[in-house]
A and B are shown apart, each in its own frame.
Chain A
Amino acid sequence: MMNILNDIYSVFWVDLHILRRHWKSTIATSLVLPLLYLIAFGYGLGRGLDVDGFSYLSFVVPGIVALTAFSTSFNGAASKLQVDRLYYKNFDELLMSPVSLYSIVIGKSLIGVIRGLISAIAIYAVGLVLAPTILVRPVFFLILLLACFVYALFGMLVALVINSHHGMSNFSTLVILPMTFLCGTFFSLNQLPVIAKAALFFLPLTHSTELLRSTVLGLSFPWLSFASLIAFGAAFFIGCVMVLKKLSI
């Protein structure tokens, strides 16, 4: 067990080391877009609106926190991995080491988790100032941790499967961008037709948004979304291990 934990930390060590070196710029850049969303949608456009019985600002803050966790964790895990694998070709160094594939998957995803947590918590803190009605509950942080882990694994899987920068950019436009606007961040899924709502349940961001929002607004816990998020995480983890098994013996 100690060996596994050591291996995971060894894989994570490089990414953590680099984050420590560039932490200010890394965190600052990851906060720009969510802050703009918060100002434009929450403070600007949505002022005076009510959604599902809550002020729009209270409604949108947890959505933007979920979105930040998603994009920062995804990119945090995916971008360096893709560069290392395709351009510098140093990902093979890990595959040729005694570290197990499971430890590689967890170790490489941790940088996404850490970056996602930092950015999402920072946005949450700003949200608490802007919308004091939202709650602070420990379970929120546990859900956030789970969501960041799921999205880091998602980013890792995509970076392992897609073999070009062009492909990654297409994926961002065709999958990530629609998820940003459709998964309930900015509007309630209750406003959509049942079929559209059902289709959006096949996207993981819908579930973390639902979970985080219900937690900070004091709504009943959406167990189906919780189970779905775990199922997505398990699928991404297995996907990563399977791809790595193809890439090495």
Chain B
Amino acid sequence: MDAIYTENLCKNYGSVKAVNNLNLQVREGEIFGFLGPNGAGKTTTIRVLTTLTHPTLGSVFVGGYDVRDKPDKVRKVMGVVQQHISLDRDLTVRENMEFHARIQRLSSSERKQRVTELLEYVELTEYADQMVDALSGGMKKKAAIVCSLIHKPKVLFLDEPTVGLDAQARRRLWDLMRRLNKDGTTIFLTTHYIEEAEVLCNRVGIMHHGQLIAVDEPANLRKKVGSIVVEILEDGKETRYQFFVDRDAAANYVKNLPSEAKTVIIRESNLEDVFIEQTGEKVGDQ
């Protein structure tokens, strides 16, 4: 069974097709990265998957349940970490967790046990009784993640989980996501950071203008556009990118370049190149 399955999912806002015929399958146990520029339809897709927005057309299943017919069942099997720190600022970390445990209908003993267990899991025990605003950005994010894990969800949605964090905090969160995934949680994350998608995700989907234009493992996507990329920088012109199957082919091409090409860089391709090649835009454009 797929952890997430959509068939011909469409979401229109008036005449704007925010999501257009999205066919998506996220397998149980994988970390799936959802890439795309602002306005590509990523957030709308997440809102539909997490029961916050009605789909206009198509089928949507999360954890095997139809989001339209069984939203309550979906809410029991999913956890959501929003892009904004969606914790209650008037409460401590422990109280925020307690609140999430309550609205997930955990019994009093389960609540106590889960809160203690999760605080230890993310090493936040010594900060448990601090007000949320007293925590650093990375710790706030961790606190938001543990709140979303309180009911042991099968599928965890993370919307831009590391945005605004420093490099160290980002890497700690990556470790946490890997650990969660190893312990059996399917992870669906949106990100602007190409490196994040490359190092974390088993598979990546690229959205553009409401459509899924590519889905595969990062290595396969890179192979499809060409493993080696040549960047050609000329004065007053936009940087050009040429893709090649190997370094020999790239070197051959560079040899025959006209002299006005001032700077030429030969390097391995990455997901950003895949994105530019497929869409003609950079991630974060628009």
Binding site for B on A (CB under 8 A): 3, 6-7, 9-11, 13-14, 17-18, 21, 84, 88-90, 92-99, 247-249
Contacts and interface: CB of A to CB of B under 8 A. Distances in A.
Given A18-B90, A95-B51, A248-B71, 4 more contacts: A88-B85, A93-B86, A96-B78, A248-B53
A248 B95 contact: no
B89 A88 contact: yes
A97 B103 contact: yes
Q: Which of B67, B78, B86, B87 is the most central at the interface, judged by chain A CB atoms within 10 Å of its CB? A: B86
B86 A249 contact: no
Nearest to B132: A88
B52 interface: yes
Interface string B88-108: 111100010001101111000
8 contacts: A88-B86, A90-B87, A93-B103, A95-B51, A96-B78, A97-B75, A98-B75, A98-B76
Contacts of B105: 3, 6-7, 10, 98
A97 B104 contact: yes
Contacts of B89: 88
A14 B67 contact: no
Contact of A99 (B86, B95, B103, B147): B103
A13 B86 contact: no
A156 to B, nearest CB: 17
A92 B95 CA distance: 18
Contacts of B91: 14, 17-18
B23 interface: no
Interface of B: 50-54, 67-68, 71-72, 75-76, 78, 80, 82, 84-91, 95, 99-100, 102-105, 147
Contacts of A21: 90
B88 A92 contact: no
Contacts of A88: 84-89
A18 B91 CA distance: 7
Nearest to B106: A10
Nearest to B101: A10
A249 to B, nearest CB: 4
Nearest to A6: B105
Contact of B80 (A6, A96, A247): A96
Contact of A92 (B54, B67, B82, B103): B82
Contacts of B86: 88-90, 92-93
Contacts of A14: 88, 90-91, 95, 99
A89 B104 contact: no
A7 B52 contact: no
B88 A249 contact: no
Given A90-B87, A93-B86, A10 B76 contact: no
A99 B99 CA distance: 12
Q: Which of A94, A95, A248 is the most central at the interface, judged by chain B CB atoms within 10 Å of its CB? A: A248
Which 8 residue pairs spanning A and B have beta carbons closest together? A10-B102, A97-B103, A90-B86, A249-B51, A249-B71, A89-B84, A18-B90, A98-B75
A96 B52 contact: yes
Given A10-B103, A11-B103, A248 B87 contact: no
Nearest to A10: B102
Given A10-B102, A96-B52, A249-B68, A90 B88 contact: yes
B82 A13 contact: no
Given A90-B88, A96-B75, A247 B103 contact: no
Contacts of B80: 93, 96
B47 to A, nearest CB: 9
A17 B103 CA distance: 15
Contacts of B82: 89, 92
A6 B99 CA distance: 12
B160 to A, nearest CB: 13
B72 A248 contact: no
Given A10-B103, A13-B102, A249-B71, A96 B51 contact: yes
A248 B51 contact: yes
Contact of A98 (B50, B52, B53, B104): B104
A17 B95 contact: yes
A17 B91 CA distance: 8
Contact of B52 (A9, A10, A90, A92): A92
Contacts of A7: 103, 105
A24 to B, nearest CB: 15
Given A93-B100, A96-B80, A247 B88 contact: no
A73 B80 CA distance: 32
Nearest to B148: A93
Nearest to A13: B102
B99 A13 contact: yes
A94 to B, nearest CB: 6
B54 A98 contact: no
Contacts of A99: 103
A161 B78 CA distance: 28
A21 B90 CA distance: 9
